[in-house]
Amino acid sequence: MRSSALACLCLVLLATLASASAHAPNSTRQANDVAWPDTIWHDIKWFWLHPFYDYSPPNPTAKPPALHPPTPDCVNAPNQRNCWTPGGYDINTDPYASWPETGVTRSYVLEIRNSTGAPDGVERPMLLVNGQYPGPTIYANWGDWVEVSVTNYMQDNGTGVHWHGIRQWYTSAEDGVPGVTECPIAPGHTKVYRWQATQYGTSWWHSHWSVQYGDGIAGSIVVYGPSTANYDIDLGPLPFTDWYYETVSARSYIVAHTYGRPPTEADTGLINGTMVSESGGHYYTTPVTKGKRYKLRLINMSIDNNFAVSLDDHPFLVIGANFSPIQPYLADWVFVAIGQRYDVVIETSQEVGSYWFRAEVQDQPVPDCGRNANNGNIRSIFRYDGASKADLPTSSPTKYVQRCSDEVFEPYFNTSVPGEPLKTAGQLDTAIHFGANVLNQTIVKWGLDTTPIYLQWSGPTLEKVYDGNLSFAAAANVLEVDGEGSWSYWIMQEVPGTPISVSIPHPIHLHGHDFFVLGHGVGNFSSTGGSTLNFVDPVRRDTAMMPAAGWLVVAFIVDNPGAWLMHCHIAWHAAQGMGVQFLEMAGNISEIAEPVHGFGETCESWREYYPEHAAYLRDADDSGI
């Protein structure tokens, strides 16, 4: 038995080393030169410390992806970033139609604990993952499988981890949304998530338990793949977020019970988990060398703030949005809504020195896009080799006009969306509702489909479907979508609230798909105004801005069975009910993979834990998203 296990371990090590060598992008010094050894150790440690599971393919009945015609002698390198694997996949391979099967599993362990932290010198309670903030970055190659063991060591909270933007092709049960795809992970228990990186680019993972991620349960995801522009060095992710000096759960309660006023403003912002304040802290510093091309992965992990970012005197060549390659374009500032990601390339062609990287909340002329008490001072440093480490940058920002709208760009892949079926589009009316709860307290609710969503953590939608139960409470906001291969169209329209209206932009995020953004505008959408929609090569995203007092029209192909949440990514609004569930191809859900341990283990432990702790685990007015 021992010799057999040792032989298997050797095979795992050899396969992992071979994969890291074969698939990792090659450059003089890249982020993955550091990351891959860590990942290899994760693979070895996971095998040695945990029992071996014989995982079969998650969906033997699903249609396999078609292989892209081989491209000879195409190896990823600084001047050939359009290439990926020799004789197989490159930038011209549409990742939504085909992806590599590497046969490699990247394994990670995430452990969540109550702690305290002082990211900018101000100490506050936090929820730390593996003792750090942001949490560990998940690295993979395009086509790898990713396996993450999440253990909840918190004192009195459940949790679930969502892999933002990951398509979860035929793996809906791994999406990490308590009440939709799983029961929460109870304290003292572990859940193993397993999904394939069928896309490439940049994203993040975060708790999907109310506003919990704002207290620290978040980290980056990097999936290496080809690129639409060349670069020398991949600097890896640079996440930024708003930050609050009291717990976000405490702020959320205040926001939910505040009548007719905007949410309380953030105290500051963090760049890669740090900032300065009167109490201490430091600026995050990125060392660079003159004369190089650097890839940088921008991620907005905020609760409430939508940012525009820039690097003084260094324009961005924008090459990727979310998990979609795009036609490169130059920009001095890039608008990044909550949940969005952009891949950019910078050239270090300026004088040797230090330069400010800036993240500014778009709060003018009115605070439509968030409020932050430290706006204008949320910065990090890019420092050239040879520049003084004692001096702060003196660089000046490029002037720009604030806005709260998405970047405009051309997708790399040409896709036409049929326009005729729009006549049968579903409409989701978005509105704010002010009322009273059972304690006669003022309560603020948001509805994406008029009615605010309310999830039953102990009875997730997907488990019900597995059990053959297609009966759902009205408050679950379940919308059935069927017709494999057909197009599903949705019009989101802001309508008057009750008893007053509050008009602000909303970053709308869809799980399980990227949607095509056919159009958006201010005022009321009318089907007679269809000429304003774009059905030829529309932008593809998983998160898009819906304008204040306006509308957003999106479409996606019905091809991924599961239960998929769509919601506003302003965490206050999600907690106040701004979401719906798409139950897609319900008759095919039996084909998709169940969770690694099935629903039973996680749900049984949660159902045993919850009744005695329900009173302080969840505000009765919280949606549970």
Q: What is the DSSP string of 203-241?
A: EEEEE-STTGGGGT-EEEEEEE---SS--SEEEEEEEEE
Judge whether 286 and 314 are in contact, CB under 8 Å.
no
Please tell me the predicted confidence (pLDDT) of residue 477: 97
Domain extent, residue 358, equals: 233-384
Q: What is the pLDDT of residue 423?
A: 73
Task: Indicate the residue among 384, 408, 430 that finishes a domain.
Answer: 384
Which of 173, 189, 224 is the endpoint of a domain? 224
Residues 213 and 258 in one domain: no
- What is d(CA 353, CA 269) in angstroms, rounded to the nearest whole number? 24
- 563 close to 581: Cβ distance less than 8 angstroms: yes
Instruction: Supply the pLDDT for residue 340.
Output: 99
pLDDT value of residue 86: 72
Q: Which residues of the chain, if any, have pLDDT below 50?
A: 1-70
The rounded distance, in Å, linking the Cα atoms of 176 and 206 is: 9
Indicate whether 209 and 292 sit together in one domain: no
Q: Determine, yes or no, domain membership for 615.
A: no
Do residue 267 and residue 196 come from a single domain? no
Per-residue model confidence as pLDDT tens digits over 278-336: 999 999 999 999 999 999 999 999 999 999 999 999 999 999 999 999 999 999 999 99
Q: Assess whether 250 and 219 both reside in one domain.
A: no
Classify residue 394: in a domain, yes or no.
no
Tokens 């990125």, residue located: 286
For residues 260 and 282, membership in a common domain is answered with yes
Distances (CA, A) of 271 to 377, 433, 493: 11, 34, 34
Domain for residue 179, yes or no?
A: yes
- The phi and psi torsions of 248 (rounded to 5 degrees) equal -65, -30
Alpha helices in 346-451 (DSSP H): none
**How many CB atoms neighbour CB 344 within 10 A?**
25
Q: Are residues 357 and 485 in the same domain?
A: no
Do residues 134 and 218 make contact, with C-beta atoms less than 8 angstroms apart? yes
| 408 found inside a domain | no
Q: Are residues 370 and 315 in the same domain?
A: yes
Residue 599 domain-assigned (yes or no): no
What is the CATH number for 374?
A: 2.60.40.420
Q: Quick one: pLDDT at residue 575?
A: 92
Cβ count within 10 A of residue 274: 18
Whether 170 and 38 share a structural domain: yes
Same domain, yes or no: 21 and 105: yes
What is the amino acid identity at position 362? Q
| Domain identity same for 91 and 204 | yes
Q: In terms of domains, do 379 and 237 share one? A: yes
Number of domains in the chain: 3
Query: Per the domain annotation, does 619 fall within a domain?
Result: no
Q: Are residues 198 and 104 in the same domain?
A: yes
pLDDT of 599: 81
pTM across the whole model: 0.88
pLDDT (tens digit, 9 = 90+) per residue, 452-495? 999 999 999 999 998 899 999 999 999 999 999 999 999 999 98
- 583 φ, ψ (degrees, to nearest 5): -95, 105
Whether residue 600 is contained in a domain is answered as no
Task: Give the alpha-carbon dihedral of 203, 286, 235, 134, to 10 degrees.
Answer: -30
Q: What integer pLDDT is reported at residue 73 of this predicted model?
A: 67
**Residue 261: its pLDDT value, please?**
55
Residue 612 within a domain? no
Q: Which is nearest to 186 in space by CA: 599, 596, 609, 619?
A: 609
